[in-house]
Structure 1
């Protein structure tokens, strides 16, 4: 075995060597006193000090080896000192206390080493995540900003606390509130594409710099305030902005609001120049894809930072409890009750650190490995919020119709949401290709027959061709010029896998209707699918 099996290599050679030498000398001194002097007491407990000195430089295997060496030395001292009478109750009790202290200390040191290694790995992941996010942020061709909206959020929360429930009506009565919120926004960072779009106005970090970008009388910021006031996760709209040379440009503005309230000090904002209408559609798609990647990376960076911060407290508490434990054991006689309480605190704080890591991991992972109970009304509302930009981009209105009491279902939430997104997207595309003057999509959630819940997606477009109704869900069948014909087939396969049905028909009043029938929570039909 090499030294790397016993020493973690996190300290420089000189410091580690000094610690190892001091610990060795101390262990030899303790062995001499315990073996060749007549001092009564649990002298062997002092081996704990040597183990603690080595705590920063040993691996888990090194800690175990150090403990074994200390135990052997303590036992050898006892045998030598009591060779004439090996059975001495008081001496055996002192030896037992010393051995227990050595084992507990080693266990704590190993736990601390594992936690420290995990923290180091987390910090490394944080640096990598931040570097990846910064690379995306700086190099993308989409104009991106990080802006501080925390003060705006506090103003809006204050208004809610005062009983305001319609921010737009309040702004009509108190127009200065918009100027106050604009002045509260501060630019944190901007990439090169932002500077190319707006010139030096893009990197002006003084509070209220948005005033120089938005033309007088523009209500886009009020729309954004309304989105924040209503708790929406994103805002998207076309807006006219002014560069530092006075040139006005029509841009697509997209703002992604974080779920974490503490992250409003770095809200990702994107703008795409859509002045050239022939490039508008392609620019729109690229902006959404790159902005979504930036937002996800920023969220992971924020979660990693939060994890590193939150782990400091339980790890610090573990160290304090370990030091307290040593003091209780050093007493003569040792206070074992107090030592047990300190040990319980160490276990509690260790479990808390583990729980923090589990919670953070579940927030980062966007998929679920097990089916869960799903609130369909909430899922539909969330899906429509995700699709807001699509609705607005194609000028399609939508309406959610939900019964007062809709039971929950068991399903894989993410996959079920993808089915809804697919159906809503198809409806929007069908309306976009029609000549409907008032395009509308209605999403209804209602109890079905027996143990079923029904979600219907209906549009007022051209409907489904008669010769296509029976083939809609067949693999590779499509009515679109650029379609692949697998979306509806995959949707139907997933819905049937959880015991449901997916059907399509034409509405008597015009347009197409897609209906999902899903089994309720606890329905036997569904349970057999996952048995």
Structure 2
């Protein structure tokens, strides 16, 4: 930094601080000339007999020093000049001057004051302009830093020619630019050639395959032939939109295809279309990952459908096993009654009725399963749980007898009916009773008992519980009891309880399992009294 003497500081505070000011010696020379001119005017005005407005010439002194002095210095010089003019007036005319001399003084003072005001206004305007230019330069430097150092591929492109072409087309009556482009195959090529690149940052050059700045000035070689994104961009300009975003493809310098996300912000002032910022993001890996995800989801959906078919097959096999087994037993019984001599026709008729009943139940199971798979809702009806338990006991009478199991129904009276799908409730009850029978294979005959209890669970639902005399359920079994394909039986599929719970929950009910305080397992299902809104 250049050192400054102490004597220069007051003078420097009056000289205009301008980063592009003239050299200090020249400034001092200009001030010296201005003061010499002021001294000459003072001499002529005071010590000569020239009767004219010589004091007005002080304006030249002010104008001469305007580019050198600060606002404070200009005010001080103006005050000095006015003081000299007044002193000259008093020295020449005293207090009894004529009207003409007074008017000359007033004109000179007014001229100096007006000149001072204009100089100060000019200085302030120049200072504001310098501040604005400095801020503009700083903003440009920040923009350039962001533009050059950003890891986002950025271009500055000149769309002014394209905009002029589009404006001319619109003036000629073109309304559908897409149709115009189809009718004029060379239109897009002409548009691409009319968009030169003003600047491109390092990330943009890297995206194009580490090309040089000169090679990136035209995007014609990098835009894929079948890419429609550029047409969409041109339509955005045609429609006077302020922003455009779209996916496109480019061809790098080494021939690699890349998918990019293109973003463009258009200026409001048409004059600024000569420098439009264009950003590109390489989304090739993202799109490939998304494609792989879609393929994996498709494979997962296919596997899910296969699993659904398998689960449905297992479900039907499980549900149809009991009625088909009953059909076989009743058919064998019917044949035995026919083999008697004479045949017992009454027993044959009872067996035939049971065959019809079991066949109908198998058909109902299939229809119920089809309803669950399709959009058709099964028909609800008012079902008496006491009557349902009685019908189910009659269906399983043979199996209960073979396993020497006593069956007891406990129900308060009267009980409200429930709104349910009868075949579904009966399927659940048959599953629970069948499981109870199988759980008591090792139980002594005197303890083989199944108790079905029916009672209100709440004001809106009924409870039906099945309690057996078996060994109960261990903690491990309880934790996995309702999971599909989990079974404690060697030949079991593990679908029965899962299906039962799903059917009840679909109708607003529930199914729980626990151990009875007196021993054995306790299964409780709740059924809504009124049908729930779907």
TM-score normalized by the length of structure 2: 0.51
Q: Given that residues 147 and 268 in structure 1 are in contact (C-alpha distance below 8 angstroms), is that contact kept between their aligned partners in structure 2?
A: yes
Question: Please, which of 106, 117, 120 is the counterpart of residue 107 of structure 1?
Answer: 117
Identify the residue that residue 388 of structure 1 maps to in structure 2.
none
Q: Given that residues 186 and 205 in structure 1 are in contact (C-alpha distance below 8 angstroms), is that contact kept between their aligned partners in structure 2?
A: no
Higher RCO (C-alpha 8 Å, min separation 6): 1
Q: Name whichever of 165-174 and 145-154 sits farther off.
A: 165-174
1:213 aligns with 2:219: no
Instruction: Flag as ranges the 4+ runs of structure 1 deviating above 4 A.
Output: 278-281
Q: Given that residues 187 and 203 in structure 1 are in contact (C-alpha distance below 8 angstroms), is that contact kept between their aligned partners in structure 2?
A: no
C-alpha distance in 1 between matches for 2:59 and 2:147: 51
Identify the residue that residue 6 of structure 1 maps to in structure 2.
14
Alignment of 1:405-484 (within 5 A): none
Question: Closer, same or farther in 2 for the Cα pair 1:119/1:231, shift >3 Å?
Answer: same
Question: Closer, same or farther in 2 for the Cα pair 1:124/1:69, shift >3 Å?
Answer: same
Tell me by how many angstroms 1:277 deviates. 1.2
Tell me by how many angstroms 1:220 deviates. 1.3
Q: Any idea what the Cα deviations from partners look like across 1:258-310, whole Å, max 9, x if unmatched? A: 111111111000111111118999xxxxxxxxxxxxxxxxxxxxxxxxxxxxx
Tell me by how many angstroms 1:57 deviates. 1.2
Identify the residue that residue 257 of structure 1 maps to in structure 2.
266
C-alpha distance in 2 between matches for 1:270 and 1:30: 67
C-alpha distance in 2 between matches for 1:279 and 1:100: 81
Tell me by how many angstroms 1:205 deviates. 6.2
Question: Closer, same or farther in 2 for the Cα pair 1:183/1:197, shift >3 Å?
Answer: same
Q: Given that residues 232 and 257 in structure 1 are in contact (C-alpha distance below 8 angstroms), is that contact kept between their aligned partners in structure 2?
A: yes
Identify the residue that residue 64 of structure 2 maps to in structure 1.
53
Alignment of 1:339-378 (within 5 A): none
1:181 aligns with 2:217: no
Tell me by how many angstroms 1:201 deviates. 5.1
Gaps of at least 5 residues in structure 1 are 282-531
Q: Given that residues 142 and 194 in structure 1 are in contact (C-alpha distance below 8 angstroms), is that contact kept between their aligned partners in structure 2?
A: yes
In the alignment of these two chains, the number of paired residues is 279
C-alpha distance in 2 between matches for 1:258 and 1:201: 28
C-alpha distance in 2 between matches for 1:38 and 1:275: 94
Determine helix, strand or coil for the equivalent of 2:68: coil
1:87 aligns with 2:97: yes
Question: Closer, same or farther in 2 for the Cα pair 1:200/1:278, shift >3 Å?
Answer: closer
Question: Closer, same or farther in 2 for the Cα pair 1:201/1:176, shift >3 Å?
Answer: farther
C-alpha distance in 2 between matches for 1:118 and 1:30: 34
1:41 aligns with 2:49: no
Determine helix, strand or coil for the equivalent of 1:18: helix
1:277 aligns with 2:289: no
Tell me by how many angstroms 1:173 deviates. 1.3
Tell me by how many angstroms 1:180 deviates. 1.1
Q: Given that residues 145 and 189 in structure 1 are in contact (C-alpha distance below 8 angstroms), is that contact kept between their aligned partners in structure 2?
A: yes
Identify the residue that residue 66 of structure 1 maps to in structure 2.
77
Identify the residue that residue 268 of structure 1 maps to in structure 2.
277
Q: Any idea what the Cα deviations from partners look like across 1:166-193, whole Å, max 9, x if unmatched? A: 1111111122221111110001110110
Question: Please, which of 239, 242, 246 is the counterpart of residue 237 of structure 1?
Answer: 246
Question: Closer, same or farther in 2 for the Cα pair 1:145/1:184, shift >3 Å?
Answer: same
Q: Given that residues 220 and 239 in structure 1 are in contact (C-alpha distance below 8 angstroms), is that contact kept between their aligned partners in structure 2?
A: yes
Question: Closer, same or farther in 2 for the Cα pair 1:278/1:158, shift >3 Å?
Answer: closer
Tell me by how many angstroms 1:45 deviates. 0.5
Identify the residue that residue 497 of structure 1 maps to in structure 2.
none
Q: Given that residues 200 and 216 in structure 2 are in contact (C-alpha distance below 8 angstroms), is that contact kept between their aligned partners in structure 1?
A: no
Question: Closer, same or farther in 2 for the Cα pair 1:250/1:278, shift >3 Å?
Answer: closer
Q: Given that residues 187 and 204 in structure 1 are in contact (C-alpha distance below 8 angstroms), is that contact kept between their aligned partners in structure 2?
A: no
C-alpha distance in 2 between matches for 1:74 and 1:112: 25
Determine helix, strand or coil for the equivalent of 2:209: helix
Question: Closer, same or farther in 2 for the Cα pair 1:206/1:137, shift >3 Å?
Answer: closer
Q: Given that residues 236 and 255 in structure 1 are in contact (C-alpha distance below 8 angstroms), is that contact kept between their aligned partners in structure 2?
A: yes
Q: Any idea what the Cα deviations from partners look like across 1:464-519, whole Å, max 9, x if unmatched? A: xxxxxxxxxxxxxxxxxxxxxxxxxxxxxxxxxxxxxxxxxxxxxxxxxxxxxxxx
Q: Any idea what the Cα deviations from partners look like across 1:133-182, whole Å, max 9, x if unmatched? A: 00100111100000111100000001011111111111111222211111
1:133 aligns with 2:147: no
Q: Given that residues 145 and 190 in structure 1 are in contact (C-alpha distance below 8 angstroms), is that contact kept between their aligned partners in structure 2?
A: yes
Tell me by how many angstroms 1:5 deviates. 3.4
Determine helix, strand or coil for the equivalent of 2:273: helix
Q: Which is greater in Rg?
A: 2
Tell me by how many angstroms 1:111 deviates. 0.2
C-alpha distance in 2 between matches for 1:141 and 1:63: 52
Tell me by how many angstroms 1:248 deviates. 0.7
Tell me by how many angstroms 1:206 deviates. 7.9
Q: Given that residues 79 and 86 in structure 1 are in contact (C-alpha distance below 8 angstroms), is that contact kept between their aligned partners in structure 2?
A: no
1:223 aligns with 2:232: yes
1:22 aligns with 2:33: yes
C-alpha distance in 2 between matches for 1:280 and 1:266: 35
C-alpha distance in 1 between matches for 2:166 and 2:278: 19
Tell me by how many angstroms 1:202 deviates. 6.9
Q: Given that residues 205 and 216 in structure 2 are in contact (C-alpha distance below 8 angstroms), is that contact kept between their aligned partners in structure 1?
A: no
